[in-house]
């Protein structure tokens, strides 16, 4: 937690905030070893970053005086990430990684090799997804939450949503064996599509290429989804 | 497990292997749903990759007939990674990520902001480290284990070992606020040094720069060690 991310209900007025949830209180006490008088980095969800001073801390609440909120959050990555739904633990970590890296649009997609049971996981509940996104923002000192949407059927996504998404973005399908190595340092908006453990099936690859995506690869090593997504984003942007 | 990695003691002769450890047996049964007659990717630790057929499988052992072992493992990254010792869970995952990415030399270093208790973690036992390296190799279909060494004191490392390491490698110190962005697609041997959560202290940065390292950064976002290490390696190579 490199940032105290304040939700609207944490703000008492323009200059005072209170934090009452156990997770952040425990972090302040046990990890930061925070003391009254400490200056910390604060940010308002969706807004600016600044500094504030801890004026009270006990097991029930932390009070902050906000000194300034004048820094814009770091730039977002110009990417819409489409991720075949990973298994729950991998999903949790991947959401944190990509949020910390600056992704603002995430679509979780069903594909043939996604186990159907993953869609029933508690990790997909909105409050759990929100929690992982917040952890990513707190890590990277960002304030703007990504949007996450769920596409539980492959065909309607490819036929009805993908063409619109590709109108203003370069479509990149990351899949082993594709003809081109992942490009480096592109500076245009992109839609990056990453398959499940075990990969897309040939039919899915064909449909995504037909829709206008370029097939790219990261070499002959097979990476876990959470490693691959970080490696791809870091190389692309 | 995209590869059955055979240790020397798994080999019965040039054409037959047996796997008896519970982890791999469980994986074959529960994840692969392997059946007698299945063809699988095999590799010999430190050697070549190939294909083999499962000739017997029960709860006690899996027997393989090795059909061919003729593929070299994927290329290694030309990097020696020096990582300030992360907290145990992060260490475990980071070892798997970097092994899967192809790192072959890893030094775990003590720095001021590494908690001393981390050096007592069971994750640092040779057999635990070995286990995470093997998981990384099995993931990426690689056979060559990285070497891992422990440097429990910063100063002797910088004074006695670092100069020799930098004779044939470009030294890169990844640290927030350094003057240059992480370079892309270098094709020369490198020594990559990554600090702990909380970063290097100014004295440490100074010593590493004096020793000949270039300071590089990944932008204003603060990343977890396991995200940063993947992002840096992917951008560099």
Confidence at B31, pLDDT banded by 50, 70, 90:
confident
Most B CBs within 10 A among A33, A221, A226, hence the mutation to make, goes to A221
Do the two domains A4-71 and A79-236 of this chain adopt the same fold? no
Q: Does A184 touch chain B (CB under 8 A)?
A: yes
Residues of B in contact with A136 (CB under 8 A): none
Give the pLDDT of residue A117: 97
- Strand bridging mode A170-174 / A190-194: parallel
Nearest CA-CA partner of B166 in B185, B200, B192:
B192
- What is the rounded distance in angstroms from the CA atom of residue A55 to the CA atom of residue A62? 8
Show the CA angle centred on residue A203, arms to residues A199 and A209, nearest 5°. Answer: 85
Show the CA angle centred on residue B98, arms to residues B92 and B102, nearest 5°. Answer: 140
Percent of chain B with pLDDT over 90: 95
Give the pLDDT of residue A38: 96
- What is the rounded distance in angstroms from the CA atom of residue B84 to the CA atom of residue B155? 13
Q: Does B27 touch chain A (CB under 8 A)?
A: no
CA torsion B190-B133-A178-B233 (nearest 10°) is: -30
The separation between CA A13 and the C-alpha centre of its own chain, rounded to angstroms, equals 29
Nearest CA in chain B to A142: B221
pLDDT tens figures, A106-158: 999 999 999 999 999 999 999 999 999 999 999 999 999 999 999 999 999 99
Residue from the list A74, A185, A224 with its beta carbon closest to the beta carbon of B100: A224
Most A CBs within 10 A among B234, B235, B236, B237, hence the mutation to make, goes to B234
- What is the rounded distance in angstroms from the CA atom of residue A57 to the CA atom of residue B64? 62
The DSSP symbol for B144 reads -
Q: Say if CB B145 and CB B133 are below 8 A apart.
A: yes
Mean pLDDT of B53-67: 95
Most A CBs within 10 A among B73, B219, B222, hence the mutation to make, goes to B222
Confidence at B13, pLDDT banded by 50, 70, 90:
very high
Q: Is the pLDDT of residue A196 over 90?
A: yes
Q: Does A2 touch chain B (CB under 8 A)?
A: yes
Q: Is the pLDDT of residue B67 over 90?
A: yes
- Strand bridging mode A79-84 / A39-44: unpaired
Confidence at B207, pLDDT banded by 50, 70, 90:
very high
Confidence at A187, pLDDT banded by 50, 70, 90:
confident
Strand locations in B114-169 (E): 147-151
User: Which of A26-40, A65-79, A125-139, A199-213 has the lowest average pLDDT?
Assistant: A26-40
- CATH dotted code for B4-71: 2.40.240.20
Q: Annotate A123-183 with DSSP letters as a single string.
A: GGSHHHHHHHHHHHHHHHT---PPEEEEE--HHHIIIIIHHHHHTSSEEEEE-TT-SEEPP
Most B CBs within 10 A among A98, A230, A232, A236, hence the mutation to make, goes to A230
- What is the rounded distance in angstroms from the CA atom of residue B38 to the CA atom of residue B23? 19
Residue from the list B100, B184, B223 with its beta carbon closest to the beta carbon of A140: B223
**Sign of the four-CA dihedral A194, A197, A199, A200:** negative
Residues of A in contact with B142 (CB under 8 A): 221
Which pair of tokens denotes residue A211?
A: 């829709």
Q: Is the pLDDT of residue B32 over 90?
A: no
Which helix (H) or strand (E) element contains residue B70?
strand B62-71
What letters, b where the CB count within 10 A reaches 16 and e where it falls short, cover A168-190?
Answer: ebbbbbbbbebeeebeeeeeeeb
Domain residue extents for chain B:
4-71, 79-236
**B231/A234 touch (CB, cutoff 8 Å), yes or no:** yes
**Sign of the four-CA dihedral A235, B1, B2, B4:** positive
pLDDT tens figures, A27-57: 899 888 899 999 999 999 999 999 999 999 9
Nearest CA-CA partner of B191 in B83, B74, B73, B75:
B83
Q: Does B36 touch chain A (CB under 8 A)?
A: no
Which helix (H) or strand (E) element contains residue A81?
strand A79-84
Q: Which residues pair with B53 in a beta bridge?
A: B39, B65
- Nearest-neighbour CA in chain B from A235: distance (Å): 5
Which pair of tokens denotes residue B187?
A: 């094709």
Measured CA to CA in angstroms, residue B219 lies from A4, A43, A98, A189 at distances of 20, 19, 15, 19
Which pair of tokens denotes residue B232?
A: 């840096």
Residue from the list A139, A142, A230 with its beta carbon closest to the beta carbon of B230: A230
Residue from the list B142, B185, B230 with its beta carbon closest to the beta carbon of A227: B230
Nearest CA in chain B to A218: B234
What's the CATH fold of domain A79-236?
A: Alpha/beta knot (3.40.1280)
- What is the rounded distance in angstroms from the CA atom of residue B100 to the CA atom of residue B81? 14
pLDDT tens figures, B160-192: 999 999 999 999 999 999 999 999 999 899 999
Nearest CA in chain B to A223: B140
Residue from the list B96, B102, B221 with its beta carbon closest to the beta carbon of A102: B221
Cβ pairs bridging A and B (under 8 Å): 79
Give the pLDDT of residue B1: 81
- Nearest-neighbour CA in chain B from A182: distance (Å): 10
Q: Does A177 touch chain B (CB under 8 A)?
A: no
- Strand bridging mode A62-71 / A16-19: antiparallel
């Amino acid at each position: 937690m490199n940032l105290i991310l304040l939700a609207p209900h944490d703000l008492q007025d323009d200059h005072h905030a209170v934090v009452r949830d156990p997770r952040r209180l425990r972090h302040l006490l046990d990890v930061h070893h925070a003391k009254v008088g400490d200056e910390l980095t604060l940010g308002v969800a969706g807004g600016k970053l600044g500094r504030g001073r801890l004026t009270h801390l006990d097991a029930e609440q932390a009070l902050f005086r906000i000194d300034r909120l004048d820094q814009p959050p770091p730039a977002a990555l110009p990417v819409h990430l489409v991720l075949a739904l990973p298994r729950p633990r991998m999903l949790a970590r991947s959401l944190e990684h990509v949020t910390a890296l600056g992704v603002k649009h995430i679509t979780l997609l069903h594909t043939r090799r996604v186990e159907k049971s993953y869609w029933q996981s508690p990790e997909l509940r909105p409050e759990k997804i929100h929690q992982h996104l917040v952890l990513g923002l707190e890590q990277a000192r960002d304030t703007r939450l990504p949007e996450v949407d769920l596409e539980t059927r492959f065909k309607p996504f490819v036929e009805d949503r993908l063409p619109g998404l590709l109108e203003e973005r370069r479509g990149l399908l990351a899949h082993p064996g594709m003809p081109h190595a992942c490009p480096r340092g592109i500076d245009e908006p992109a839609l990056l599509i990453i398959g499940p453990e075990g990969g897309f099936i040939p039919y899915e690859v064909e449909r995504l290429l037909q829709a206008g995506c370029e097939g790219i690869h990261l070499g002959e090593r097979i990476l876990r989804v959470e490693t691959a997504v970080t490696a791809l984003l870091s190389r692309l942007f």
